[in-house]
Structure 1
Amino acid sequence: MEKFKAAMVLGGVGDALGFRNSSWEDYASGKTIQKELKQLGGLEKLVLDEENWPVSDDTLMHMATAEALTSDYWSLEDLYREMVRLYVSAVEKIQGRRPDPATVEGCLQLKPNNYILAWHTPFNEKASGFGAATKAMCIGMRYWQPERIENLVEVSIECGRMTHNHPTGFLGSFCTALFASFAIQGKPVVQWGRDMLKRLPMAEEYCRKTIRHMAEYQEHWFYFEAKWQFYLEERQIAEDGENKPAFPDHYDVEEMDKTYRRWSSEGRPGRRGHDAPMIAYDALLGAGSNWAELCSRAIFHGGESGATGSIAGCLYGLMYDLNNIPKGLYEKLENRERLEHLGEALYRSSKEEK
């Protein structure tokens, strides 16, 4: 239970650190961010509070997803209707926190008063962003057992395409949910990427089964997979995931920014559904249990650092809990008590059969 609570809280911590009240997300240079961090006294000296270090829309949408998953639903359709209700009500809350445009647009297209089509949104050419990935880790926490993989696939895809109805977007939610389940199962991190690709056919089969938008999906489907194949080959991670990843001998913040930009689709690291989870995953591979090193790699870089920080923080919490985290980073965190409550509720719900 403590790791579930830590995951929800550290997702918020990673988000708040990367977001820095919207200022650090404007920076293209991790070197500039790390220089400012040093001027603030370093990571150990920071005290995150609601006024100066608020969470972004990433955490608020993740909380909304977790609220739905821990509600008293009787079927997955009821779960989706509850997600719709909570996402629509979240639109007003996320204003002023520089939300992902696709998240806002998707929420406005949901139909809470339509019982049958409430969660059906149109295909959106521009909905390939990170917002689906950052709200879905809790789905993997709810359905973490290997025998619940079909639930995880379905819920993560439906949740993702409510707001990001584009394969690069909703495959991001499938990816982060799956990684969360792997973390709880204790699967070695180096195996996650390859094992995720092995399960991609399940996501495609589910989309075929639901019929909607398959012509549009087919046109864009393989971008996500191709980017991940390229990444895994660059890190020389074998098919069986038994080897150590290969990092450059010289890998400072400038080289890291350069690498992340190469993985991105538009030169802004973490902006899309494929590279936000990718950067978080790469940081976990490189940092192990070292929290400060994880922050350097997953948060203090140029681009969408709040998105990559929220994913990496949540997954780190599922593996290592709060033992190595400076208390100043989470004791006064915005919504901390609610995040802890949701972590506990997810733990209890994951033990129940539905």
Structure 2
Amino acid sequence: MDRPLSLQHYKAGMLLSGAGDALGYRNQLWEYNESGPEIHKELQELGGLKNITAELPDWPVSDDTVLHLATAEGLATGVSQLKPGSEGGYRVAYNPDGTGCGAAMRSMCIGLRYPRPEQLSSLVAVAVETGRMTHPHPTGFLGAVASALFTAYAVQRRPMASWGVGLVKEACPVALEFVKSRGCAVEECVRDWGYFSEKWQWYLDLRGLASGTGPAIWPDQYGPAERDEAYKSFSLSGWAGRSGHDAPMIALDALLGAGSDWEELMSRAGFHGGDSDSTAVIACCCWGLLYGLEGVPQGNHKNLEYRDRLENSAEELYRLSH
């Protein structure tokens, strides 16, 4: 990294990940609303994003932020307690259904702890091992690798059009070698490995990003209704953002389309008919690292639940990464 990112950007990344979560969640009302156009209609009835003060009791963060905080604070204070008594005691049995986005939604902070290109192997190792504690299927734990990698890329100021290629061509092969080296459920992981990379390659082809250069190719019409259909096509089973591969995929799609516009980012990443808080928590962390708090209405974050803990963990991760 030629120019270290400022502490304020680290704080913005952690804080806005929580803000995006709370806004996309809307105390379960929007997380489980399967219509993006309906969510946008309700948003306008509230007076738009600028009119929302994300604070308790109406706008709590979800489990996404609670788990992201737990991961961040664990990274900052040491994770020796994750080995209860026996070698490998922190591992769970392989589960072919462990494909969800739970590992992806909590792993952005790993990229803040290991942000440098030369730290890729450490980033991958921590993302894989913490990810498969709950999501032992590659589609699940590689989501953790994706979220961590994208925040590291944001810190590095790597061109966003190359993020997906970096995931498929650089990080996934490192992850596969790491999994083989650890000797845990290797046969099952290798058997089920292909879907994640193949679906990401499909997405890069769709957006014209397979060479790692932009600009992204967009449909002529790509409003809330069209995005709902597109995001479903990214998904494993029709629930957009529900799985480890497509939560970061929707996040990247939103980042590519929104640029520095916070409202547009939330429109794309946080207000859709899928797992909206999980896609927003990833996208907004990256966005905060890139753009800080500029252009974000104060009400969206100033009274956010766990604000102090989010900012404190950002300070610790910044200190440890420099």
Report the TM-score range of the alignment, normalised by the length of the smaller protein. over 0.9
Match of 1:286 in 2: 257
Q: Which runs of 5+ in 1 are unaligned?
A: 74-78, 85-111
Residue 117 of structure 1 and its aligned partner are, at CA, apart by 2.6
In structure 2, C-alpha distance between the alignment counterparts of 1:285 and 1:3, rounded to whole Å: 19
Q: 2:84–2:90: 8 Å Cα contact kept in structure 1? A: no
Q: Which residue of 2 aligns with 1:105?
A: none
The alpha carbon displacement at 1:315 in A equals: 0.6
Query: Conserved in 1, the CA contact under 8 Å of 2:99 and 2:139?
Result: yes
Q: Quote how far apart the aligned CAs of 1:220 are.
A: 1.2
TM normalised by structure 2 equals 0.96
SS at 2:192 equivalent: helix
Partners of 1:37 and 1:253 lie apart in 2 by 12
Deviations 1:286-339 (A, max 9, x none): 001111100110011001001001001101011011111100000110000110
TM-score, normalised to structure 1's length? 0.87
SS at match of 2:141: helix
The 5 A counterparts of 1:308-323 are 308-323=279-294
Residue aligning to 1:92: none
Match of 1:13 in 2: 19
Tell me which stretches of 4 or more aligned residues in structure 1 moved more than 6 Å: none
Does 2:181 match 1:209?
Answer: yes
Say whether 1:174 aligns with 2:145: yes
In structure 1, how many angstroms separate the alpha carbons of the residues matched to 2:298 and 2:119? 35
Aligned residues with identical type, % of pairs: 47
Distance 1:148 1:131, change over 3 A: same
Name the structure 2 match of 1:157: 128
Structure 2: any 5+ residue segments left out of the alignment?
Answer: 1-6
Partner of 1:260: 231
Mapped contact 2:201–2:210 kept (Cα < 8 A): no
CA shift, 1:115, in A, is 4.2
Residue 238 and residue 221 in structure 1: after superposition, are their counterparts in 2 closer, same or farther (change >3 A)?
Answer: closer
Query: Would the alpha carbon gap of residues 193 and 257 (structure 1) be closer, same or farther in structure 2, given more than 3 Å must change?
Result: same
CA–CA separation in structure 2 for the residues paired with 1:279 and 1:160: 19
1:60 to 45, 53, 66: 66
Deviation at residue 145 of structure 1 after TM alignment: 0.8
For 1:47 and 1:161, how far apart are their aligned partners in 2?
Answer: 35
Corresponding position of 2:200: 228
How big is each residue's C-alpha offset from its partner over 1:233-253, in whole Å with a ceiling of 9 and x where there is no partner?
Answer: 0001142x2220000111111
Structure 2 matches for 1:322-333, cutoff 5 A? 322-333=293-304
Deviation, 1:50, is 2.1
Structure 2 counterpart of 1:218, from 186, 190, 193: 190
SS at 1:266's partner residue? coil
Indicate the RMSD between aligned Cα atoms, in angstroms.
Answer: 1.0
The aligned counterpart of 2:321 is 350
Kindly tell me the number of residue pairs found equivalent between the two proteins.
Answer: 315
| In 1: Cα distance, 2:86 partner to 2:317 partner | 26
2:90 is aligned with 1:119 = yes
CA shift digits 1:67-118 (9 cap, x unpaired): 11111x4xxxxx2x34x3xxxxxxxxxxxxxxxxxxxxxxxxxxx6324233
**Counterpart Cα distance in 2 of 1:191 and 1:288:** 15
Aligned equivalents of 1:232, 1:13: Cα separation in 2: 28
